[in-house]
Amino acid sequence: MPYLQQAAFIILAGFATWLFTKNIIRIRKNILLGKNEYLGDQPAIRWKNLLLLAFGQKKMFRNPLVAVMHFIIYAGFIIINIEVLEIVLDGLLGSHRLFLQTLGSFYTIVINVFEILALGVIAVCIIFLARRNIIKLKRFISHDLDGWPRSDANYILIAEIILMSLFLIMNATDRALQLQLTGDEHYRETGNFIVSGLLAPFFSNFSSGQLIVIERVAWWLHITGIFAFLNYLPYSKHLHIILAFPNAYYTKLDPLGRVDNMPEVQNEVKYMMQPELAPTGDALPVKFGAKDVQDLSWKNLLDAYSCTECGRCSAACPATQTGKLLSPRKIMMDTRDRLEEVGKNIRVNGNGFKDDGRSLLHNYISVEEIRACTTCNACVQECPVGISPLDIIIELRRHLVMEESNAPQEWNSMFGNIENNYAPWKLSPDERDKWTEEMK
């Protein structure tokens, strides 16, 4: 029987690992559909960003209470993985509490820390569920989250509560068996567990056989749930648990407000003034801005997959808060949805994209949305994992204006003034300092 359980676990672990790896490779291929962009400079600053933004959750602590609660879930996820490592090794080797013999009395301290964290995770998940579904904070009831995104967040919180509860039940029944089966080689003495010990009275009237069944069922459900959670991540906003780290590392280091110029635009102006410099021959036409996800950079696409859908960007956006159609969170969600659609198209058609008559601009993100942006960078400033919705908005605007000649009359007037007068205003360059005469 133990060998049968061991074989079943090896099959389960192998399948879960294969499926997760397959989905991560798929996501990586989707991200690499974006244009190349070099973001490998200043590695010291980038590692600092990774440690502060991803590990330290620096931006979250602008709201200390929420930050502490989020950090409890985060710490629980990271630290309790050590316990998961023991379970996985036990499953592969057919052992039970593998680290007990190595750690000795320190093992009890470690498990007690895990249990306190597990209890904290359960409490915080209940609070977060209440914030979303009872208190209904404004950024959690936005129409951006209608449908699957709202359900996704609730499913994850409920799953974490179930997984942590199974962990405590597993420990409580294991401890009860240690006390009933004194000297048993399988259920060896570990000492008392602080949190699961509170459940001990509930199991006091169970027989050893019943306790073994409960402990084994809790063990299997716990580890199966973790494997299921792992493979749920690629389809969930909680993929940021993994991608927040590379995304924080590759965050742009330019000062906020600096917009990358296109050399092609500068060259067009230069060739107008000095036609002799224009290249000869059949040069490939230059695409300005982005119409679809393939026109964005790989970092823009990594941003889309890293989005936590927390809504802090939209809560800070002046356009969103004044009732405009724009929502930076929706920009990221739409980009990810379109990227998934394009990636599936390529896989179905044998690694070649077949035109489906759709695009990110117009079909997912409307003209009205991107025109509402004031380019204030509030969304970039607020994002806890270094995402820039503004970069995508600017690229979509570039395409709209320079490829489709689609701009409001007010913009066209400004463009004309800049072209003719070198300033947004309808003033001759020779008269630009005329106002100083009035001062005299």
pLDDT digits (tens, 9 = 90+) for 209-244: 999 999 999 999 999 999 999 999 999 988 998 999
* Backbone φ and ψ of 35, nearest 5°: -70, 155
Q: What is the pLDDT of residue 261?
A: 81
* CA–CA–CA angle 369, 375, 376 (5° rounding): 125
Q: Which CATH class is domain 2-31+63-249?
A: mainly alpha
Q: Among 374, 362, 320, which Cα is nearest to 338's? A: 362
Provide the CA 163 distance to its chain's centre, in angstroms. 21
Domain edges within the chain: 2-31+63-249, 263-407
pTM: 0.87
Residue 440: partners with Cβ closer than 8 Å, 6 or more residues away: none
Q: What is the pLDDT of residue 183?
A: 73
Identify residue 153 by its one-letter amino acid code: A
- Is 240:383 a contact under the CB 8 Å cutoff? no
- Is 305:352 a contact under the CB 8 Å cutoff? no
Q: Among 198, 164, 4, which Cα is nearest to 83's? A: 164
Q: Helix (H, G, I), strand (E, B), or coil: what is residue 146? A: coil
Q: What is the pLDDT of residue 57?
A: 84
Q: What is the pLDDT of residue 352?
A: 85
Residues of the chain below pLDDT 50: none
CA distances for 149 relative to 122, 141, 309, angstroms: 21, 11, 8
263-407 under CATH 1.10.1060, yes or no: yes
- Is 411:401 a contact under the CB 8 Å cutoff? yes
Q: Helix (H, G, I), strand (E, B), or coil: what is residue 313? A: helix
Q: Helix (H, G, I), strand (E, B), or coil: what is residue 30? A: helix
Task: Give Rg (Cα) of the chain.
Answer: 28
